[in-house]
Every structure is written in C-alpha cells, then in structure tokens.
C-alpha cells in the first residue's frame, strides 16, 4: 500500500482518516458578531477594550449542536474540527485558566461539551482546532500580525510581557482539551510564522508540547503547523487544491487534507457574496480523493448559533449526492497510474473492493474512451453508481473505430445515455478483475 512508509511513522493513527475523507470545519467565536471575517481584529486593528462589546453581548440562543451534527452526518461528513479558540483568544469551553470564555458571557455556558457529545452521538470523530496565536492574552507579545502591531505604546509594553507565561497557558489549555473531553481524534494547531517579528516553535515550545500530547493521547492526529519539521501527521493545504497528490522527498504519498471555505471567510461573514456553487464544492471533494487527499469543508455559524441558510443549502446538496455516491469517496484513493484518466473525468479507486470510479465532470457526446492495457485487461463490468444500471462496455461501432485513430485495440469505450442522469456528478463504477 502506498501509505506503508507513513504508517511506520504514525502507528496507523491516520488509517481511519484516509478512509473517511470528508469532514466539517467549524469556525465559531465572538467574530460571528461583527460578522465580517474572523480576522476582523487584525484587519481593523481592534484593541481588547474595543472588542469587549462583543464578549459582553455574546448569546447564541438558537444554538443546538444536535442540528449541526445531524446536518454534518447527512452531508456524508465523518469527522468535525471545531475552533475551541481562534486567534481572538476567546474559548468556547469552561477553561480553568481564563475568564475569557463562553461561560462568562451572557450565554453563560460551556459550548464545547454539548457539541462534542452531539457529534459523537451521530458517529462523527472529534477534532479540536486550537489557535497558537492569541491576540487577547496579556503575555502574547505584539508582533507583525497582532491587531496592535502599529500601536507604539502597545509595542513598548512588550518589554513587560513574558511569552513563556503565554506558552504555559497554551500548554495547560491543550492538556485540558485532552483530558476533559475523552479521546480526541485530531488536534489542529494554527499557525506558525517564524522569523522577524513572528512566532514559531521556540515561542510555542513545540517539541515539549508534542511530547505532552503524545503522552496524553498517543493516537490523536496532529497537523503540520507547529513549525516542527517532520512532526505533522498530515499536511494542510488551505484555500487551494494541490495539482497532484502530495509526496515526501522519497516520492511516497503523504497524508493531506485540504481545508476550504464556502465563500472565502472562515468565520460567519454576513455580506460576503462570493459563495461557491454547490457542484464546484462537490468537485473539490472528488478532486481531493482522486489525489489521495481529504476535504475539510468549513461552516461559520451565526451569532445566534445557527448555520447560515447558504451553508445549509450546500450541505443538503452534499447529502443528496453522498447518499448514493459515498462508495466512490470512502475507502477510496488515487487510481493506480496505469489507469489514465479520460478527459473531463476524475478517477478514484477502492483497493479493497477492487473498483474504479469514473466521475463524469463534463457530460460527453455518447462515449467515453479509456485507453491503455490496464483497462482492456481488467475492466469486467460497469454500472452507474446512482441507480446500479448497467453501462455497456461495447463502445464505438467498427466503422467509427476505423476513424477514431486511438491506436488499435488498447482501449475500451463505454456507451452512455444521451442526456446526463439527474445527479450532480454521475459516477461509473468499474469492476476490475
């Protein structure tokens, strides 16, 4: 198996992950109130005092994590990752190390516990995003990303700030997250920017942190943003899709997960108009799996505690497609290289079932031709995945073949109906010998 090199290193803790392929990211915090990007403090250079107006009024009265969990499950997502604390420093759980937390706002309760429970009850695995950056903590020194970066008074106060105190806080909170919520499946740290006026592994004490985590929960997967080369269980391309599967320096495939937004912002952004079309998002999932990757698709709930209607629409769209097509996603990976992908299509492969999945992204003129001996030697049956109807392996007529110039017999064509079936992306399931 292509993952064998990785497995030796990670103890098999990524096995479930590369099988499940599809998760939900949730960015939720005080920034859902200004509703104009989770970086609003940075973008508008908002001080702690000015930002306090949100803390004093945070009250997501319509919050029902059971609804969230059900929508995620219906959409076919198998795990979720929640921002327990984002760069603003606000904590969703009842941390004993700070008062800057949900229970101290008008909402008056721990928001994380019931969320973890609800998602677990729906069978989803649990991931915690934790921001290494903290713009609220008094000992987090002002640096080039900080909201107060241009405020000289605040810069001067750095002399009295002690980043070690912040680091202790960070480590204590991670310990808390790993001891108060049962087994956690993913820890998603965000992010390092070492070098001048930035922060990296020395500031976070990344190695020490990693050692503690491995002691507390040896099976938790950790992302690659601790600025500790070689420490990540998975890579995290963000806001772009890799051109091909990611590999290590010896050319072995590595575990990766693209994290993507519906519209651009991660936190709820009321006025953002750049929402992606549902079928584009679906193609992004297929694209990830066809390159050995996962997709973590983000929702930014509102300040009342609900998923925006546009997010709900897109999740419902996934639910409709995944119900019938999960087989081309779960347990699937990049097709072996001898199976060349026909134009306008995307291929995934399930090595256990020994089937190829041809996702038809652009509906063709009647035939799709697959070239190469791998196809002619090994494909023995084909059907649509959405309705299990046979697809004839007989392709072009001999007189058409003569004009086809495809290089002799080393290809097979399939004959498709004239009109595209009524599913967003039709999939042909190819049974291999």
CB closer to ligand GLC, 110 vs 190: 190
Q: How far apart are CA 249 and CA 368, in angstroms?
A: 36
Q: How far is the CB of 316 from ligand GLC (least distance, A)?
A: 24
With vertex at residue 317, the alpha carbon angle to CA 271 and CA 364, rounded to the nearest 5 degrees, is: 110
Q: β-strand 427-432 against 355-360: which pairing, if any?
A: antiparallel
Of residues 235 and 238, the one with the C-beta less far from ligand GLC: 238
**3-class SS at 231?**
coil
Nearer to ligand GLC, 259 or 412 (CB): 259
Does 79 bind ligand GLC (CB under 6 A)? Our answer is: no
Q: Are strands 22-26 and 79-85 parallel, antiparallel or unpaired?
A: parallel
Q: With binding defined as CB under 6 A, does residue 26 bind ligand GLC?
A: no
164, 200 contact by CB (below 8 A): no
User: Tokens 């320096």 label which residue?
Assistant: 249
Burial class (CB in 10 A: 0-12, 13-18, 19+), 353: middle
CA dihedral 411, 414, 419, 421 (to 10 degrees): -120
Site string for ligand GLC, 183-212 (x = CB under 6 A): -------xx---------------------
Provide the edge-to-edge strand list for the sheet that holds 186-190. 221-222, 186-190, 125-131, 79-85, 22-26, 293-299, 256-260
Could you tell me if 311 and 262 are in contact, meaning their C-beta atoms sit under 8 angstroms apart?
Answer: yes
222 binds ligand GLC (CB under 6 A): no
Shortest distance (Å) from residue 156 CB to ligand GLC: 26
Least Å distance between CB 27 and ligand GLC? 6
Tell me which H or E stretch contains 297.
Answer: strand 293-299
Nearer CB in complex with ligand GLC: 80/321? 80
Q: How far is the CB of 26 from ligand GLC (least distance, A)?
A: 10
Q: Which residues make beta-bridge pairs with 356?
A: 349, 430
- Is 38 a binding residue for ligand GLC by CB under 6 A? The answer is yes
CB of 108 to ligand GLC, least distance (A): 26
Number of residues that bind ligand GLC (CB under 6 A): 8
In whole angstroms, the minimum distance from the beta carbon of 275 to ligand GLC comes to 18
Token duo for residue 151 = 């405020």
Task: With H, G, I as helix, E, B as strand and everything else as coil, classify residue 401.
Answer: helix
Smaller CB distance to ligand GLC: residue 38 or 306? 38
Quote the least distance from Cβ 377 to ligand GLC, whole Å. 43
| Eight-state DSSP code of residue 277 | P
Output the smallest distance, CB 296 to ligand GLC, in A: 8
Single out the residue of 74, 176, 238, 279 in contact with ligand GLC (rule: CB under 6 A): 238
Which CB sits closer to ligand GLC, 69 or 258?
258
Residues 39 to 68 in contact with ligand GLC, rule: CB under 6 A? 39
Binding to ligand GLC, residues 110-129 (CB under 6 A): none
Question: Binding to ligand GLC (CB under 6 A): which residues in 245-304?
Answer: 259, 266
Task: Provide the CA 103 distance to its chain's centre, in angstroms.
Answer: 28
Residues that bind ligand GLC (CB under 6 A): 27, 38-39, 190-191, 238, 259, 266
């Amino acid at each position: 198996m292509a993952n064998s090199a990785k497995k030796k290193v990670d103890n098999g803790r990524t096995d479930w992950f590369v099988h499940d392929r599809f998760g939900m990211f949730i960015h939720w915090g005080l920034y859902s109130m200004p509703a104009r990007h989770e970086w609003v403090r940075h973008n508008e250079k908002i001080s702690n005092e000015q930002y306090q107006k949100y803390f004093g009024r945070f009250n997501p009265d319509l919050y029902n994590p059971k609804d969230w969990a059900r929508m995620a499950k219906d959409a076919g997502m198998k795990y979720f990752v929640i921002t327990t604390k984002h760069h603003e420093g606000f904590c969703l759980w009842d941390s004993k190390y700070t008062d800057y937390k949900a229970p101290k706002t008008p909402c008056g309760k721990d928001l994380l516990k019931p969320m973890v429970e609800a998602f677990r009850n729906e069978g989803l695995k649990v991931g915690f995003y934790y921001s290494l950056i903290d713009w609220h903590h008094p000992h987090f020194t002002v640096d080039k990303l900080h909201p107060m970066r241009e405020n000289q008074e605040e810069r001067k106060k750095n002399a009295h700030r002690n980043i070690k105190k912040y680091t202790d806080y960070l480590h204590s909170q991670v310990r808390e997250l790993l001891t108060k919520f049962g087994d956690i499946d993913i820890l998603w740290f965000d992010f390092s920017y070492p070098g001048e006026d930035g922060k990296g592994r020395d500031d976070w004490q990344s190695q020490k942190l990693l050692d503690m985590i491995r002691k507390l929960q040896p099976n938790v997967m950790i992302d690659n943003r601790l600025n500790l080369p070689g420490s990540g269980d998975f890579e995290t391309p963000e806001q772009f899709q890799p051109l091909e599967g990611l590999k290590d320096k010896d050319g072995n495939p590595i575990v990766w997960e693209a994290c993507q937004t519906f519209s651009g912002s991660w936190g709820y952004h009321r006025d953002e108009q750049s929402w992606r079309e549902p079928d584009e998002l679906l193609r992004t999932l297929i694209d990830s799996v066809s390159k050995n990757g996962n997709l973590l698709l983000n929702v930014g709930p509102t300040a009342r505690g609900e998923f925006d209607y546009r997010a709900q629409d897109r999740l419902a769209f996934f639910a409709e497609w995944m119900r019938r097509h999960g087989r081309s996603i779960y347990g699937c990976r990049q097709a072996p290289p001898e199976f060349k992908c026909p134009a306008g299509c995307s291929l995934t492969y399930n090595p256990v079932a020994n089937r190829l999945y041809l996702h038809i992204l652009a509906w063709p003129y009647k035939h799709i031709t697959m070239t190469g001996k791998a196809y002619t030697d090994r494909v023995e049956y084909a059907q649509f995945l959405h309705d299990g109807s046979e697809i004839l392996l007989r392709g072009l007529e001999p007189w058409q073949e003569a004009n086809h110039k495809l290089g002799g017999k080393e290809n097979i064509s399939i004959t498709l109906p004239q009109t595209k079936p009524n599913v967003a992306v039709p999939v042909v399931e190819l049974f291999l010998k």
